[in-house]
A and B are shown apart, each in its own frame.
Chain A
Amino acid sequence: MTFAVELAYWQTTTIKVLVVLGVIPVAAIVLGYVFLLKMMSHMQSRLGPMEAGPHGTLQLVADGLKFIQKEDIFPDRSDRFVFGLAPVVVLMSTFLLYIVIPAGPRLVVEDLDTGVFFALAVSSLSVLGVLMAGWSSANKYSLIGALRAAGQLIAYELPLVLAVVGVVMQAGTMSLQGIVRAQSEGEIFGIGFLGNPFIFTQFVGFAVFLLAAQAELSQTPFDMPVAESELVAGFMTEYTGFRFLFFFMSEFGSAFALSAIGATLFLGGWHFPGIGGSLADVTGPLVLGAKVMLVAFFIFWFRFTFPRLREDQLQAVAWKYLIPISLANILVTGVLKVLF
């Protein structure tokens, strides 16, 4: 089945841009409300926001309205140009992540051949923005926060990338659509009705991916860059109003995007057993959404459970455990793939 109307390139691109423009704030608000506000409160035996909207659902919208009214302050000593540019760089990194995430057989902005690779490359752009923000603020808290962030993000970049290699080996492609197809057509020991979600064969990779994603998103136990009890707000200390909101949006937008990439790589993405063809274009977003919420649930559960690590422990976890484990995972996967 094809669409009756053929759209020109600029028309489809405009639609895609508008959809993604809508998805990012909604994703940020949903994750922020469901997990950050409500799940955390209930796990800590309190109610959380209850006043704005039914059960506090409009709290984040109200927060956004509040941010609009805040004065836009550039500190005297700051490097104004870089200070203004930093949130744009961080937000752009989030925005570009959404290009490769498939939500259905045809529902993807651009199915790049280098899909996963592109996503990982783009997600590490945010380090630049964070360093720019911390340095240009001319504030000691910001500077320390930015240096911590840079050290942390580059340390966990490696396990994140290496964990993905196992999936790429199994699927034989880097395109995210190709990876979903490989999972939906695969079979486990001859049983084909479930497909073959790579979480079964790449469980080690999945665990490393989740831990590294946690650190890449600077969620507690890895939240030293913004540790509020030590650094006020880390690299965001000097930001006010909308510019601060951009960092917030990017944090939760990236959390959603990385969860979606994790769900696509390891849980089968938009594929649901038994649904194929053009029907999958309808159910795809829902199935992917449910899987994303599942992955995000684990990330936030972890966040609310463990206290912050020390800076040296953080580096030790990445270099002494995660990287050797993921290298071993690549070798084992390679041997099994070639032998069987």
Chain B
Amino acid sequence: MKALTTLIAMSGFLREYLTVLVFGAAAVAMVGAMLGAGSLLRPKRAQLQKYISYESGVDPVGTGWSQSQIRYYLFGLLFVMFEVETVFIFPWAVRLEDLGLFGLVEMVVFIAILALGLLYAWRKGVLRWM
């Protein structure tokens, strides 16, 4: 019962996100409708050569899922770390007026640690192209 009353109290909030869901569905519906309309109009003449992977006109060599050197790996790790910490900055930014000097000092410390992490990665050569 309590859960139900909370749900009703939250219904305005939930309804906003229902719209988000509706819009997601509308995007899928639009793609479906356009492809459906297209299928009535477009030709379909199967020729084996059409379905070969494109490699500038030459027959493809090996598999398309070949191993490639992922230089972005460390950047990816760095990103995950920074992005998660960036998320913490947002609630602080909204409430800064109320938090005042105390909040500011806290955030200076937080960002200093963040910047120190970036500096460390920089000095370690992570940001250099390898």
Contact = CB atoms under 8 A, between A and B. Distances in A.
B41 A69 contact: yes
A329 to B, nearest CB: 11
A-side interface mostly: helix
B-side interface mostly: helix
A187 interface: no
Interface string B94-113: 11110011011001100100
B33 to A, nearest CB: 10
A162 B71 CA distance: 24
A315 B75 contact: yes
B75 A17 contact: no
B26 interface: yes
Contact of A147 (B42, B70, B103, B127): B70
A21 B30 contact: yes
Contact of B52 (A76, A140, A158): A76
A324 B54 contact: no
A99 interface: yes
B90 A174 contact: yes
B53 A77 contact: yes
Contacts of B45: 71
A256 interface: no
B39 interface: yes
Interface string A302-340: 000000000110011001100110010011001101100
B23 A17 contact: yes
Given A169-B93, A338-B96, A338-B100, A315 B127 contact: yes
A140 B94 contact: no
B96 A172 contact: yes
Contacts of A323: 82, 118
Given A71-B42, A168-B93, A92 B24 contact: yes
A331 B115 CA distance: 12
Interface residues of A, number: 76
B54 A242 contact: no
Interface in B61-91: 63-66, 68, 70-72, 75-76, 78-79, 82-83, 86, 89-90
Interface of B: 15-17, 19-20, 22-24, 26-28, 30-31, 34-35, 37-39, 41-45, 50-56, 60, 63-66, 68, 70-72, 75-76, 78-79, 82-83, 86, 89-90, 93-97, 100-101, 103-104, 107-108, 111, 114-115, 118, 122, 127-129
Q: What 10 A-B pairs are tightest by C-beta distance, nearest first?
A: A138-B64, A312-B129, A151-B72, A95-B27, A76-B51, A92-B27, A168-B93, A169-B93, A154-B79, A110-B19
Given A243-B35, A330-B107, 16 more contacts: A17-B22, A69-B42, A71-B45, A71-B50, A72-B44, A138-B65, A139-B64, A169-B93, A172-B94, A172-B95, A315-B75, A319-B122, A323-B118, A327-B111, A330-B93, A331-B107
Interface of A: 9, 13, 16-17, 20-21, 68-78, 87-88, 91-92, 94-96, 98-99, 109-110, 112, 117, 135, 137-144, 147, 150-151, 154-155, 157-158, 161-162, 165, 168-169, 172-174, 232, 237-238, 241-243, 246, 311-312, 315-316, 319-320, 323-324, 327, 330-331, 334-335, 337-338
